[in-house]
Every structure is written in C-alpha cells, then in structure tokens.
Amino acid sequence: MYTIVIPAKNEESYLPVLLETIRKQTLPPAQIIVADADSTDATREIAAQFGAKIVEGGLPGIGRNRGASEAKTPYILFLDADVVLNDPTMLERAFAEMMKRNLDIATCDVAPSNDSRLDRALHKAYNSYVRMVRPVMPHAPGFCIFAKKSLHDEIGGFDETVTFCEDHDYAHRGAHAGRFGFLSVAVPVSTRRLDRDGRMSVAVKYALAELHLATIGPIRHQLFNYTFGHSSKKT
C-alpha cells in the first residue's frame, strides 16, 4: 500500500530508533527506502540490517525524489530519520483517515520528543500557525508528508533547485494539484537542531523564510545557510 522514504546523512544514532518503531506498526510499509547522502558513519549498514533498500541521496529534496522513483506503491510516506512513531497504530490510523477524506497529500501536527514546556509551546504555536495559513500557504514539514505516488509524479516531485523550505514548496504545489489536509495524528520529532542552533536563532531564521516565501517565492539561494546532516556544532 505504501512506501516509506527517508533521506539520511550520518544518522546512526537516530535511524535505528525510527526503523524499530516502523517495524512495530500495525500497518507496515511494503518497503522502506533510505536515500543516503554519503554518510561516513554506520547509516547504510543500519538501514540494511532493517531490510531497507538504499539509494544514493543528496539534499533532502533530492533524496526524497530518488527514493520515490523506486516506490511501486500507491502511497509514499516521507519521514526524517529523527522522528519516532511511538504509537504502533499511528500509520494505520493516518492512512485510514487519508483515504476516508480522499486526500492526495497530507501532513500532521508536530510534537517535541522531550517534555520541555517551552518546546511544547513552540511546537503548538507552529501547529496553530500552519493551520491558520493553510488556505493561502499550505505547509507540510518534510519530516512527515503523506502523498499519493500519482500526485508526486504529477507535480514533478520536490523542486531540487529549492535550497530551503523545499517541503513547503512541495506542499504548496501539491495542494494546488490535489486535495491537501492535516491528519489528526501527531509525530514526535527530535529537538536536536533547536538545541544546537538555539531556539531564538531557529525561530528568526524560519520567520524570515516565511516572509521570503510569502513575498518572493521559493528559496533558491544559500542565504539561509541550510546544511543537511546533523552535527553537534553550529554551522
């Protein structure tokens, strides 16, 4: 029924946790594809141990496209390596809702994987914001995007010339070509980027990116200094 595509680079710490929670889902994927962007750690070996197919990746949009090109199922679920599907019924419920509502592309709320009140408040604010602007600026964070394979192919996948917020560009184009919605599930995601770069710095960066998207359009330059792959140092 569906294929999971995970773009990854140096994710030996997080990837096995995600793959183990996928293994426990009541509606398992037909296939898992890890698009690896030249990892120098054990990412590829871990993916292989869990039976995932490994393809050559790159930046997230490139990796998602290469993974999707190998998918043979009607649906694709794009996940990032640092999410955790704690509820074993989550994907079964999500796909049931997606089909009941006849959605072509969908996403869900995000929750921090820790118990910080500040992080919970920040993530709640984000969820409220993206739902509010949905009619004019559909958003779908790349760590969790459900899409029909036919819609993905119709819109040409992720725009590989977009260097930042390529996921929101994908959602925007997908929403114009098909039916878009938010599912009534939430996905816990790591706060590692917030911890590394600082919450205020990340908030300012994304606020400026939102302004760029609203006034200029997709981001095709390097001014936002996005880097793929996690390290403990700021970049």
Q: If DSSP states are collapsed to H, E and C, what string results for 50-106?
A: CCCEEEECCCHHHHHHHHHCCCCCCEEEEECCCECCCCCCHHHHHHHHHHHCCCCEE
pLDDT for the residue 212 = 96
State phi, psi for 189 to the nearest 5 degrees. -135, 150
**Which segments in the chain show pLDDT lower than 50?**
232-235
Q: Is residue 232 part of a domain?
A: no
In a domain, 231, yes or no: no
Residue 124 lies in a domain: yes
pTM of the full predicted structure?
A: 0.94
Residue for token digits 């796909």? 95
Range of the domain at 110: 2-191
Furthest-apart CA atoms within the chain: distance in Å: 46
Residue 124: per-residue pLDDT: 95
Report the CATH number at residue 146.
3.90.550.10
Q: Are 29 and 2 in contact (CB under 8 A)?
A: yes
Query: What pLDDT was estimated at residue 235?
Result: 35
In a domain, 214, yes or no: no
Three-class SS state of 56: strand
Determine, yes or no, domain membership for 234. Answer: no
pLDDT at 186: 93
Structural domain count of the chain: 1
Please give the Cα distance from 120 to 127 (Å, whole number).
10
The answer as to whether 201 is a domain residue is no
Cα distance between residue 225 and residue 177, in whole Å: 30
State how far the Cα of 102 lies from the Cα of 104, in Å rounded to an integer.
7
Residue 86 lies in a domain: yes
pLDDT at 226: 77
pLDDT at site 230: 59
Sequence letter at residue 103: L
Q: Considering the domain boundaries, does residue 40 fall inside one? A: yes
Q: What local confidence, expressed as pLDDT, does residue 232 receive?
A: 42
